[in-house]
Structure 1
């Protein structure tokens, strides 16, 4: 019998009343230096008590081996670890082998994704010969494998709708169908207006009250750079509220590099206010997209009263 990690839905259920947990997303590092940075961030979040950590999945073979290796290393820290898997350039047989390898490594948590086309996230997506077309098919595959019977499966959800969906109602139906196929919860794409999250939650509950009871975890990215947030919006299709963009532009004063600290201050304040609103609305967890850095997320957590301060004298060292 494998020594499996606890499922994320169980982790969330075990959270003490009155406390909102937080979790973080990492990207597979592309070289040893980046891996060392990830390990430092992971140590910080371990000490801060992250409910779980997730590891994204590289398209086109770029980081797939590192994804599994990093996930296994994080699980040994120990950190409850969610590993992403996409359909991109995989046959069904290859997916089956990957899933069994995750199970044999003691992993229990999978984020089932279709994935974006390699090289162009907004381009046309087609499966490889012998591959699967939809995330719901991946969920069904997982549920058909005996070694993966213990898997706690998450999916992506889209507060502003997936860019391929013609309407929000169509997108909501796709999300609900993935939950009906056997997914246990969803993590949203990043967004910058809490209303998008709240309306997504309302739409799912209205369409299927049973599936609406499953956790919808908001995905947040603390804002530290005007250039970076614009790039993330371009890649994700998320909407950057004009009021926020104007505040960031005002802080930049025409020179983002010279005024980066002022931009960061505005961004962290805004991210904190978003998190406060979401906590007040009863979210099950706050999932921070970290880009493998700890500082910005820790600053938001500190503002929420959930972590020590971060500065030259405070941070990881004071935790360890």
Structure 2
């Protein structure tokens, strides 16, 4: 092994040792819509539980069917595991009375953490009757929930501009939200600049970076197109030629996520939220390499 290669490996190992024991993680899942996906979800939850995440969240879509599945998953996690659960809740397609009942039901089932979101509009021309800041206020009127909200380092697709998006985030925090979790991103500098702008705007809540371990570049491009996320050319180049090579894709995706966490950790970030897409393998491997491991 060359001297330069040995130095590089030693530097990587030292960086990982610096992080070990200094970061906390949380995981996001979505409700399954088939028996096969349900099996995958619960296998993933079982696999990731020993890592002692701060919490696990379950997404919540418009429409009663998805909502009911979310409620069922949340309640089962709460009942059958020692995990702290965070239930996503959106105010699209639901009246204030319905939202109050959902919130009360969660509270009665010992769910104390809510991820409060506006939700996707069913029609781009539609105007929401409530916003996330209104939902935060409503939830706080029901009980003293621990509330997370969404943040967008690269600006929400529906925002007029970056300043308006920042003002909206501050409105949510001022309404009583405890923290913000960002949309996934790959440009670390965009997150750091966004965090600085939040601090300058008087937002003191933690801005937790959302990390998406990439396993399929085509899926990533679709997600990014819907959420206004910039995918750098170097990521495109990293996955080029791997369409039929899932093993190497996973290795590349894990490497990208670990590098992001290492850089952000050096910048003082201690909490990371992983979008698992209901798959445990990549998130578990990344956490293992970062020193987040089962306690003996």
The TM-score by the shorter chain falls in which range?
A: 0.7 to 0.9
Aligned counterparts of 1:284 and 1:125: Cα–Cα separation in 2: 38
Aligned counterparts of 2:182 and 2:290: Cα–Cα separation in 1: 21
* Structure 1 SS opposite 2:63: helix
Determine which of 82, 90, 95 is the counterpart of 1:86.
90
C-alpha contact 1:154 1:185 (8 A) present in aligned 2: yes
Aligned counterparts of 1:196 and 1:81: Cα–Cα separation in 2: 29
Counterpart for residue 39 of structure 1 = 42
What is the TM-score with the length of structure 1 in the denominator?
0.82
* CA deviation vs aligned residue, 1:231-278 (integer Å, no higher than 9, x gap): 2212222110112112211x43xxx12x33333322221111011111
C-alpha contact 1:28 1:58 (8 A) present in aligned 2: no
Counterpart for residue 302 of structure 1 = 288
* Structure 1 SS opposite 2:189: helix
Aligned counterparts of 1:117 and 1:177: Cα–Cα separation in 2: 20
What value does the CA root-mean-square deviation take over the aligned residues?
Answer: 1.9
Counterpart for residue 6 of structure 1 = none
Determine which of 164, 179, 186 is the counterpart of 1:185.
179
* CA deviation vs aligned residue, 1:58-95 (integer Å, no higher than 9, x gap): 22223111111111111120110000000111011111
Counterpart for residue 206 of structure 2 = 215
Counterpart for residue 228 of structure 2 = 237
Aligned counterparts of 1:142 and 1:305: Cα–Cα separation in 2: 36
Counterpart for residue 125 of structure 2 = 124
C-alpha contact 2:156 2:227 (8 A) present in aligned 1: no
What is the TM-score with the length of structure 2 in the denominator?
0.88
Task: Give 1:30 shift.
Answer: 0.9
Task: Give 1:18 shift.
Answer: 5.2
* Structure 2 SS opposite 1:156: strand
State the number of aligned residues.
276
Counterpart for residue 199 of structure 2 = 205
* CA deviation vs aligned residue, 1:78-125 (integer Å, no higher than 9, x gap): 11000000011101111111111111111100111100023x6xx334
Summarize the alignment of residues 127-138 of structure 1 with structure 2, pairs less than 5 Å apart. 127=128, 132-138=129-135
**Shift >3 Å, 4+ stretches:** none
Pick 1 or 2: higher relative contact order, CA cutoff 8 A, min separation 6: 2
Structure 1 portions without partners, runs of 5+: 1-16, 309-318
Counterpart for residue 99 of structure 2 = 95
Aligned counterparts of 1:248 and 1:89: Cα–Cα separation in 2: 38
